[in-house]
């Protein structure tokens, strides 16, 4: 640890060193077994005699804080002298706006028999060997200096080619902006387009993390209902400056926004001078129907910002995503990114560039689609057979989760039912937090991507057994 001497301190220098080391041991900043810097090195760095340092070490040894080891110098004793906890200061407090943000994840990363939380992918499908080769090739080059805040030119070109081919987005490399995931992209867009107090419209129900993110920026967030065709455009307030939607696979209910509704949303945005964020978080995985054209491709006025992520296609741990933005915003996006974290990690970008160019991403997606299609089928069919009266599965032709909704809203059995599900070793996400602006519906989000194929049917059986034992939902009084 770093040691300091204060020339203005009337205490002897040995006492100053002793006090600093004793406090570090007592506070737990130095752990038992930690080796102290040799006295000759401390003396040289502080410009004092070695005897000054050895005097401080001697006092620590005499009081049981440190002990000598043959050939190993001095280390913190296994049972040091009196240890105290450093008092925790509460002088600084978060703002009310920051304190209002709550963690989204309901469960910690604990062992479970069936991890059915939505958004989880199967880590065993990750093409580790191919990724390792791409990462090693990237490491062969120098990490270099700071990069372009928008991302490396090579990766942006690779992403542009891939997203045009795989998702039907209309984009060139200059429109691609590499991000640390979808949330980062949304944060950047809001900072560039909005001022505190502006109104943002979100789907209701929707992704609660986005609502919390935008509120943390001082924005007024309103919820807009969805129906079988997607967000209800007629319910959008004229003062909304930004609309956030998930048209390819509405989160959490699963419907696909109709073509008619897509054009209606674009017409509304043009008429009201608003922007639209299209979050296409998992459209790579479709099971029965071909996707409709992205909003971004239908947009003729430059109002749609398309957000993609590799959290579902590869791994959430990579923290990589991208934004397709109108050219008019790129300069401001670069500047905002630069003053926060400057640029994406250059080595990881190089690895992903090679991974895409080498065809590894396409091969991985083909394999993952085959696996997830089977798991989707098993969960959908087993639910159809076993769900008790009072519950229904919501159709979903894409994505990595299915939603089960109760026929009626609030009921007293819900907390006990959820405790019973957890006792069965089943992790899930409740539907209610997705409702931020209206009376929540009772339901469950069950992901299937992270559940091994042989476990999908047993997981659904465990789930439906608990629901059956809890009894049919009743009308709220």
Domains of the chain with CATH codes: 13-76 (1.10.10.10), 114-121+363-470 (3.90.1150.10), 126-358 (3.40.640.10)
Confidence of residue 471 (pLDDT cuts 50, 70, 90): low
Phi-psi region of 380 (alpha: psi -120 to 50; beta: other; left: phi over 0): alpha
Q: What is the pLDDT of residue 73?
A: 85
Res. 411: pLDDT tops 90: no
User: What average pLDDT does the chain have?
Assistant: 91
Report the distance separating Cα 306 and Cα 279, nearest Å: 6
Rounded CA gap, 435 and 205, in Å? 5
Q: In the Cβ-directed half-sphere of 345, how many Cα atoms lie within 13 Å?
A: 13
- Asked whether the CA dihedral 435, 438, 440, 441 is positive or negative, the reply is negative
Confidence of residue 475 (pLDDT cuts 50, 70, 90): very low
The better pLDDT of the pair 84, 169 is held by 169
| Confidence at 476, pLDDT banded by 50, 70, 90 | very low
pTM exceeding 0.85: yes
Q: pLDDT by residue (tens digit) across 302-311?
A: 999 999 999 9
Q: How many whole angstroms separate alpha carbon 393 and alpha carbon 405?
A: 6
**Considering only 26-40, 45-59, 195-209, 443-457, which range has the smallest mean pLDDT?**
26-40
Q: What is the pLDDT of residue 86?
A: 59
Identify the H or E element spanning 459: helix 453-470
Structural tokens at position 473: 């939902």
pLDDT digits (tens, 9 = 90+) for 335-391: 999 999 999 999 999 999 999 999 999 999 999 999 999 999 999 999 999 999 999
Mean pLDDT across the stretch 186-191? 98
Out of 14-18, 86-90, 191-195, 335-339, which region has the weakest mean confidence (pLDDT)? Answer: 86-90
Chain segment 103-159, per-residue pLDDT in tens: 876 555 567 899 999 989 999 999 999 999 999 999 987 777 889 999 999 999 999
Q: What is the pLDDT of residue 127?
A: 96
Q: What is the pLDDT of residue 477?
A: 32
**434 Cβ neighbours under 8 A, 6+ residues apart:** 205, 206, 207, 208, 251, 252, 440
Q: Which residue has the higher pLDDT, 26 or 88?
A: 26
End-to-end Cα, the chain, rounded Å: 64
Q: 3-26: per-residue pLDDT in tens?
A: 999 999 999 999 999 999 999 998
Q: CA–CA separation, 130 vs 268, rounded Å?
A: 45
Q: Is residue 215 reached through a cis peptide bond, with omega within 30 degrees of 0 on the bond before it?
A: no
Strand partners, 231: 226
User: Is the confidence at residue 414, as pLDDT, over 70?
Assistant: yes
Which H/E stretch holds residue 403? strand 401-406
pLDDT in tens, 230-255: 999 999 999 999 999 999 999 999 99
Contact 333, 327 (CB under 8 A): no
Above pLDDT 70, what percent of the chain?
A: 92
**With 70 as the cut, is the pLDDT of residue 99 above it?**
yes
Residue with tokens 């220098």: 13
Range list of H helices, 9-127:
13-26, 39-46, 50-62, 96-99
C-alpha angle 395/398/400, rounded to 5°?
100
CA separation for the pair 477, 475 (Å, rounded) = 6
CA 278/CA 5 separation, integer angstroms: 58
Q: Which residues of 275-310 are buried (b: 16+ CB within 10 A; e: fewer)?
A: bbbbbbbbbbbbeeeebbebbbbbbeeebbbbbbbb
Q: Return the percentage of the chain with pLDDT > 90, whole number.
A: 78
């Amino acid at each position: 640890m770093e040691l300091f001497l204060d020339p203005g301190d009337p205490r002897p220098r040995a006492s100053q060193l002793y006090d600093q080391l004793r406090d570090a041991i007592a506070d737990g900043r130095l752990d038992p077994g930690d080796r102290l810097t040799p006295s000759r090195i401390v003396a040289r760095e502080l410009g004092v005699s070695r005897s000054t340092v050895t005097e401080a070490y001697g006092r620590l040894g005499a009081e049981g804080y440190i002990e000598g080891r043959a050939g190993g110098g001095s280390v913190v004793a296994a049972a040091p002298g009196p240890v105290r906890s450093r008092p925790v200061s509460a002088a600084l407090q978060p703002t009310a706006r920051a304190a209002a943000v709550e963690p989204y994840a309901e469960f910690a990363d604990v062992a479970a028999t069936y991890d059915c939380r939505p958004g989880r992918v199967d880590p065993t499908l990750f093409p580790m060997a191919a990724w390792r080769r791409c990462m090693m090739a990237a490491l062969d080059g120098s990490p270099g200096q700071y990069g372009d805040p928008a991302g490396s030119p090579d990766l942006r070109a690779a992403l542009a080619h891939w997203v045009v081919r795989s998702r039907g987005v209309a984009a060139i490399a200059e429109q691609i902006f590499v991000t640390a995931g979808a949330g980062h992209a949304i944060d950047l867009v809001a900072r560039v387009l909005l001022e505190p107090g502006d109104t943002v419209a979100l789907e209701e129900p929707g992704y609660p993390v986005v609502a919390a993110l935008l509120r943390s920026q001082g924005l007024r967030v309103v919820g807009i209902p969805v129906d079988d065709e997607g967000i209800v455009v007629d319910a959008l307030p004229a003062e909304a400056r930004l609309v956030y939607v998930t048209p390819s696979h509405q989160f959490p209910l699963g419907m696909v926004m109709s073509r008619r509704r897509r054009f209606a949303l674009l017409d509304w945005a043009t008429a009201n001078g608003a922007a639209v964020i299209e979050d296409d978080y998992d459209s790579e995985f479709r099971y029965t129907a071909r996707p409709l054209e992205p909003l971004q491709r239908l947009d003729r006025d430059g109002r749609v910002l398309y957000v993609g992520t590799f959290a579902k296609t590869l791994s959430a741990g990579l923290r990589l995503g991208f934004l397709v933005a109108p050219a008019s915003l790129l300069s401001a996006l670069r500047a905002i990114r630069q003053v926060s974290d400057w640029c994406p990690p250059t080595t990881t970008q190089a690895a992903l560039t090679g991974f895409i160019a080498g065809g590894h991403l396409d091969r991985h997606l083909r394999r993952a689609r085959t696996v997830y299609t089977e798991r989707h089928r098993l969960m959908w069919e087993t639910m159809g057979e076993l769900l008790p009266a009072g519950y229904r599965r919501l159709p979903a032709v894409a994505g990595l989760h299915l939603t089960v909704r109760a026929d009626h809203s609030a009921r007293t059995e819900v907390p006990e039912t959820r405790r019973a599900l957890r006792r069965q070793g089943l992790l899930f996400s409740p539907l209610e937090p997705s409702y931020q602006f209206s009376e929540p519906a009772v339901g469950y989000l069950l992901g299937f991507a992270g559940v091994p194929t042989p476990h999908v049917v047993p997981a659904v059986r465990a789930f439906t057994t608990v629901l059956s034992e809890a009894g049919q939902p009743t009308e709220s009084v």
